[in-house]
Every structure is written in C-alpha cells, then in structure tokens.
C-alpha cells in the first residue's frame, strides 16, 4: 500500500480528551500522521513529541541583519560618502542613528520570520491543502493515521484504539 493515501481519522470534540487520546494512541504504538484543530491547543505539540520551533532563532538572525544593515547604511552615507555638518553634530552622530536602526531591526525580524514560517509551513496562495475533514476548521479535532505507516497493526485494531481513546467518530479517508 502506498504511503500518504489511505488514512484512518479519529474525530474528537474536546481538547482535553484529545490531549489524553494522543498520549494513549502513541502509547499503544500507533504512529500519528498529524492532528488538525480549529484553534491552537496548548500542549498538543508536547504530547505529539514535536521539537520546539526554531522560528525565534530566525527572527533573531533577521533582526541582527536589520540592525547591521541599518547601521552600515547610515554610517556609510553620513560619515564616509558625503559627510556634512548638521546641527553642529559629529558626522557619525550615533544617537541619531538609533531610531532608524531600531525600526529596521523590527522590520527585518518580522518579515524574515514570517517568510520562514510561510515557507516551512508551505503556506502560499496557490497551495492546495489536503483537507481530511471539513469540520477541522470549525469545531472538531481530527487525528489522522496513515495506514501504510502502521502496517504492523491491523486496521480494526487501530480503530479500536481510537474509539477507546475517546474519539466520537472513526472514519476512513483516502486521497487519489
């Protein structure tokens, strides 16, 4: 059987039940493909065993890039390329360069981080997402289990585990 085509879906109503269910299902040796929720469920990434996002590091690096670019630009233009005395100040009037440096730091940090987020999460206007269950953006949490990825377990057994963990519905879903 090909991977990523045939799934079993566990449908959960409640985030508290879902969190315990993820622990139970993973404890029974079932590999969870992904959980789809209509809103962020706190602690879900821990029970699913996801590593912390590295986006803060990206934001920091882009921020530093912004600061460096802004300072380089200002010192180059004001001190080296066309020095002018303005208000009796030094050519390189560092305190005057702080506001623009700060703004450029924020600008690059925000845009850089959001850019990395959109790329890593494959978010783009022409993306064609696979929607397992339309209710996952409304009021249900959907746990998707790839059958091919759990070949050691019987399908009926997986369904049993899902029902026992508190799923209100257990469905099949296949993609072309």
Residue with smaller CB distance to another protein, 117 or 160? 117
Residue with smaller CB distance to another protein, 121 or 154? 121
Could you give the count of Cα atoms lying within 13 Å of 14 in the half-sphere of its Cβ? 7
93: phi then psi, degrees, rounded to nearest 5: -85, 80
Residue 31-70 contact track with another protein, rule CB under 8 A, x = bound: ---xxxxxxxxxxxx--x-x--x-xx--x---x-------
Please give, one letter per residue, the 3-state secondary structure of 80-129: HHCCCCCCCCCCCCHHHHHHHHHHHHHHHHHHHHHHHHHHHCCCCCCCCC
Residue with smaller CB distance to another protein, 122 or 152? 122
Residue 35, phi-psi category: left (phi > 0), alpha (psi -120 to 50), beta (remainder): beta
Burial of 170 (0-12, 13-18, 19+ CB in 10 A): middle
Residue 12-31 contact track with another protein, rule CB under 8 A, x = bound: -xxxx--x------------
Under the binding rule (CB under 8 A), the answer on residue 174 touching another protein is no
CA distance 48 to 26: 8
* Segment 96 to 115, residues that bind another protein, using CB under 8 A: 96-97, 99-100, 102-104, 106-107, 109-111, 113-114
- Least distance from another protein to the Cβ atom of residue 90, Å: 10
Residues at the site binding another protein, with contacts judged by CB under 8 A: 13-16, 19, 34-45, 48, 50, 53, 55-56, 59, 63, 73-74, 77-78, 81-82, 86-87, 89, 93, 96-97, 99-100, 102-104, 106-107, 109-111, 113-114, 117-118, 120-131, 134-139
């Amino acid at each position: 059987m090909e991977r990523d085509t045939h799934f079993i879906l566990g449908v959960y109503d409640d985030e508290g039940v879902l969190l315990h269910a993820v622990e139970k299902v993973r404890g029974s040796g079932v590999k969870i493909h992904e959980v789809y929720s209509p809103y962020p469920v706190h602690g879900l990434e821990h029970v699913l065993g996801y590593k912390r996002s590295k986006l803060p590091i990206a934001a920091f690096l882009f921020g530093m890039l912004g600061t460096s670019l802004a300072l380089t630009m200002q010192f180059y233009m004001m001190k080296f390329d066309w020095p002018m005395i303005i208000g009796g100040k030094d050519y390189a009037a560092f305190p005057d360069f702080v506001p623009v440096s700060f703004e450029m730091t924020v600008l690059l940090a925000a845009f850089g981080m959001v850019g990395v987020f959109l790329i890593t999460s494959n978010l783009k206007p022409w993306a064609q997402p696979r929607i397992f269950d339309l209710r996952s953006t409304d009021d249900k949490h959907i746990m998707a289990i790839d059958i091919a990825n759990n070949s050691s377990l019987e399908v009926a057994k997986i369904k049993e585990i899902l029902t026992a963990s508190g799923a209100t519905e257990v469905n099949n879903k296949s993609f072309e």
